[in-house]
Structures are given as C-alpha cells and as structure tokens.
Amino acid sequence: MAQEQEGINLENALFNAADVLRSKMDANEYKNYLLGTIFYKYLSDSMLYYVAELLEEENVSLEEAQKLYEENQDDPDLIDELNLKFNYVIDAKNTYTNILKTVNNHTFQISQLGDAFNSIESQGKEFEGLFDDYDLYSKRLGSTAQKQSDTISGVLSAIGKLEIVKTPGDTLGDAYEYLIGQFASESGKKAGEFYTPQQVSELLTRLTLVNKDYTDGMTVYDPTMGSGSLLLNFRKYVERSERITYFGQEINTSTYNLARMNMILHHVDIVNQKLRNGDTLDEDWPIEEITNFDAVVMNPPYSYKWSANAGFKDDPRFSAYGVLPPKSKADYAFLLHGYYHLKHSGVMAIVLPHGILFRGAAEGKIRKKLLENGAIDAVIGLPANLFYNTSIPTTIVVLKKDKQDRDVLFIDASKDFEKVKTQNELRDEDVEKILTTYKERKDIDKYAHLASFDEIKENEFNLNIPRYVDTFEPEPEINLDEVSKELRETNEKIKENEIELISMLKDLTSKDEKITKGLNDFISVLEEDVK
C-alpha cells in the first residue's frame, strides 16, 4: 500500500510540474520538456548516489553526494567505476544538482543546460540525440532570453523537489508511463504517434504469452513501437524479465527518443535494448540482427499510406502473397511485416481497423492466403473509442506459424467497456474475459465462436465478426393483456383528472357575460367527455 501511495504522489507531483508549461504550449510539445527533465535528473541522481556508495557514505542527500563528487571527480578509478556502471559520466558542473543550485541562487543560464545535454549525448550511441526535442531557445518558452530562462528554471525547480531514484521497484517507470498517458489524453489525435492505452497494451502482451514459458529468455518485437510502452508490458508478465530482449522500430525521431528514455527509466539494461529510428516498411529489420522473434506486438497507424513500390513484390515479407497491400492502406503491409519476423513457435498480436476483415481486391487475396496457411488464430472485436487518436472500433488479429488446424476463434468484445470522461476503457474483467475465452476456444452465446476453415470458406474468406458471432438481441414479446390493462388504467386516470378540472372551472366567476358563456360551453364539452 505504501508503495502504491508513493507512486500516486509521484505521479501527481510530476503532472503538477507540467503547470509551468501548460499555458505556453500544448501537451504534445511540453511533454518533451517535462519528460526530458525527468530523464536528465534520473541520470544525474543515479550517478551521484552511486558516487556516495562507492565512497562508502551512507544516507547522504543529493547535495552531500554532489560535494563528495566534486572532491573526488579527478580520481580515475572512480570515473572508471561510473563508466562501468552507467556507460556515461556527467561532470560535476553538469549534474542536475549543481544546475539546480544556480537556479536557486539566480545565476542560471540556459547554456549550462545545453552543455549538460551535449555532454551526455556525446558519451555513446545509446545517448545520441536523446535531448534533440528539448528546444532550449524556443519562443514558446518566452519572447526573450530571460523569459525562456525563467520558464526552464521553473521546470527544473518543480522537478528538482522530487526524489525519483530512491523509489521502490518500477515506481518511477510507472509514473513515467502515467505521464505519457496523461499527455496522450491532452494531445488528442496526435497521441496516436506514441501511445497505446494501457489496457490494450496489456491484452496484446498477454495474448502472445498464453501457454508459453519464457523463463529462459525471450525476444519481443514492436515494429511501430511509439514510446515503447507496449514492449515494456512484457516485464510484468514474464517471470525472468531481465532475460527479455526488446526489439523496436519507430519512424518518428521524437517518439523514438521517448522510447529510449522509457527503457532506461524502467531499468532495462542497454544490451537488452535493440531500438532503431526508421521506416519499418521501407527499411526492414537489419539482417545482421536477430530477425525472428518469440512475440510480435503492434498498434500501427491505421490505413497509413505507403509507397507500395513494385520492387516490394520481391521482398520476402510480401512475395509469398502474389500482391502488395494497396498504397492507400498499409494495414496488411504492417501485418505481413510482423508475421514474417515471427518465430515458427511465436505468437503475434496486432490492432487494426475492422476493414482488414472484409475489404476485397489485394487485401482479400492476402487474407485468403493467410487463412489457407492457417496463420490467423483469432479475431477479437474491441469497443469503439478506445484510442485517443480515433473513435472507430478496432480489432485484434492473433497470428501463429505453428498452428495444427485452420480454425479461427472469433470474439465480439465490443460491448464490454467502461466509459471514462470522453473515452471508453477496457476494465480488468473485460481483459480477463477475452483471455479466458481465447485460452478455452469454445463457443459462447453472443460472444465467441470457433469457426472451421470450411465455414470461413463458405463466407468467401470474409472475417467480419457479425458473420460468425450473432449478437442480435430480439425485442421482448409484447403482453397484450398487460398493454390493455395499462390503457384502461390510463383512461381512468385521465377521466379523474377531467372531473377534477370541471370542478375547478365551475368555481370560476366573471362579470363579463361573454367570458362566462365561453367558460360554460367549455365545461359542457368536458362533461360530455367524461360521461
């Protein structure tokens, strides 16, 4: 409970720090400053605390650790130990603690922070360009150099109050995830570039782990990894999470940097991070790396336009299907890419729009080939409005290479959700229901159906879920006796009200004969009605 409370407090504090920037820019921009600052502080504080540990000083503050470091930074053995531990060394003048000191005594210059970032980025490939999106001289921070400096000082001060290293387990990493989710909520459509809702991430991850034992290690690949949250979910469900190697590719450089930071803040060893900044479709995973993975998970951009150049027909990812996915919709290009990189014993789970289930032409041919090969294991319909960047309903397709049959399990989970503000969210019980149904592979009335290949063939390889799961709810039968009784009771009530009205009208008087005559005529009409 204490750990949970600490996590909540950290989350609140971090998000409150964003108030310094909220009035100046939207969430998609200010997340780079806030998350970058947290990351910088984490690198700096981790190193300073380790300095104190190496010098056998216990229970020291960051300020005390800074003083120890300043006194010993010329010791080559100390520097070697730091390099060995972190793969980086931050000079004493460039630590967060030292720069915060200049903020507090009003001598801070933005160039100091720039020097610190450049120093970190120069210390190895894994740190290159990490702070590229932290625009220290942006006019959004202020119209003058002083105003820019004041804004950055405010961010440094707000984050500087937090203890972000000595937090239990994954508290910091989880808080970072929380922030990314909050930014996604504020960013609207732009959020699709970097964020998959946690419940969907969890479902995708766990689907690939059903009946699998990866205690000896595993590889997981996300070709459109965003902030890396989907990859990092595996740490929660694999017993020996330190044995997971993460492979990911992301086309957006800012988002790629966010994923790298996210990995480090979740204490993922550098050797277990295999992340690339590139176009997944145009630049396949390099052949010099591992190219087939135990699990492939993906939430690609929906109906994305891609080149579909004729040369791709000879690409081993697509060549077996005879046609290429259309230029206007890369959905199947992403699916085939991921499936190609799946181990024979592996499982893939991908989120796509419903159109991939029934669209014809080239997509129809690809779908037919996949079904004939027994590649598609399950189709799961999700509720609409789960994602920040689109309100459309989506589907999860689960694929395997080692299936012994060509059956496909259809699950219609589109009605199971909770509405939270303007978004729909999967509840824990919704996720568990899907997973249990997937494991058992049995028919459930109005929810799931295990379709044979022959049944799918009869449907001309159309995978639209309503063809297989009948969710129609008939209108309840009308009880005519009850309806008649209700009508009689209603008529009696109307008559009672009219009698009461007549009584009230008769009490009315007027000296105007014309009005009196009109009133009496109206009363006569009402009296006729109630006879």
Buried b (16+ CB within 10 A) or exposed e, 229-246: bbbbbbbeebeebeebbb
Share of the chain above pLDDT 70, in %: 88
- Report angle CA 225, 231, 236 to the nearest 5 degrees: 160
446: left (phi over 0), alpha (psi -120 to 50) or beta: left
Q: Is the alpha carbon torsion for 81, 85, 91, 95 positive or negative? A: negative
CATH 3.40.50.150 fits 186-467, yes or no: yes
Please state, in angstroms and rounded to a whole number, the distance separating the CA atoms of residues 26 and 185: 11
Beta-strand runs (E) in 284-341: 293-298
Structure tokens given for 253: 């450089």
For the domain with range 2-168, which CATH number is right: 3.40.190.10, 3.60.10.10, 1.10.645.10, 1.20.1260.30? 1.20.1260.30
Average pLDDT, the chain: 86
Q: What is the mean pLDDT of residues 254-282?
A: 89
Of the pLDDT bands very low, low, confident and very high (cuts 50, 70, 90), residue 191 is very low
Q: Give me the residue label for tokens 């396949």.
A: 284
Please state, in angstroms and rounded to a whole number, the distance separating the CA atoms of residues 24 and 142: 8
The answer to whether the beta carbons of residues 47 and 90 sit under 8 Å apart is: yes
Return the bridge partners of 348, or none.
296, 399
Please state, in angstroms and rounded to a whole number, the distance separating the CA atoms of residues 65 and 79: 15
Q: Three-class SS of residue 197?
A: coil
Q: Is the alpha carbon torsion for 287, 209, 215, 236 positive or negative? A: positive
Please state, in angstroms and rounded to a whole number, the distance separating the CA atoms of residues 399 and 338: 10
> Does the structure show a pLDDT above 90 at 221?
yes
Backbone angles phi, psi at 321, to 5 degrees: -105, -5
Instruction: Give residue 377's pLDDT.
Output: 98
Structure tokens given for 261: 């930071």
Q: What is the mean pLDDT of residues 145-155?
A: 90
Instruction: Give residue 295's pLDDT.
Output: 97
Type of residue found at 474: P
Q: What is the mean pLDDT of residues 214-223?
A: 95
For residue range 344-390, what is the model confidence (pLDDT) as tens digits?
999 999 999 999 999 999 999 999 999 999 999 999 999 988 876 67
Other C-beta atoms closer than 10 Å to the C-beta of 513 total 8
Beta-strand runs (E) in 185-321: 218-222, 244-250, 273-277, 293-298
For residue range 354-367, what is the model confidence (pLDDT) as tens digits?
999 999 999 999 99
Which of 170, 171, 180 shows the shortest CA–CA distance to 201? 180
Please state, in angstroms and rounded to a whole number, the distance separating the CA atoms of residues 407 and 404: 9
Please state, in angstroms and rounded to a whole number, the distance separating the CA atoms of residues 508 and 147: 77
Share of the chain above pLDDT 90, in %: 54
DSSP characters for 468-489? TS----PPPPP-HHHHHHHHHH
Which of 378, 394, 382 shows the shortest CA–CA distance to 441? 378
Q: What is the mean pLDDT of residues 222-248?
A: 92
Which element (helix H / strand E) includes 147? helix 145-160
| 118 vs 473, more confident | 118
For residue range 305-330, what is the model confidence (pLDDT) as tens digits?
999 899 999 999 999 999 999 999 99
The answer to whether the beta carbons of residues 339 and 376 sit under 8 Å apart is: no
> Does the structure show a pLDDT above 80 at 478?
no
Of the pLDDT bands very low, low, confident and very high (cuts 50, 70, 90), residue 270 is confident
Other C-beta atoms closer than 10 Å to the C-beta of 443 total 15
- Structural domain boundaries in the chain: 2-168, 186-467, 480-530
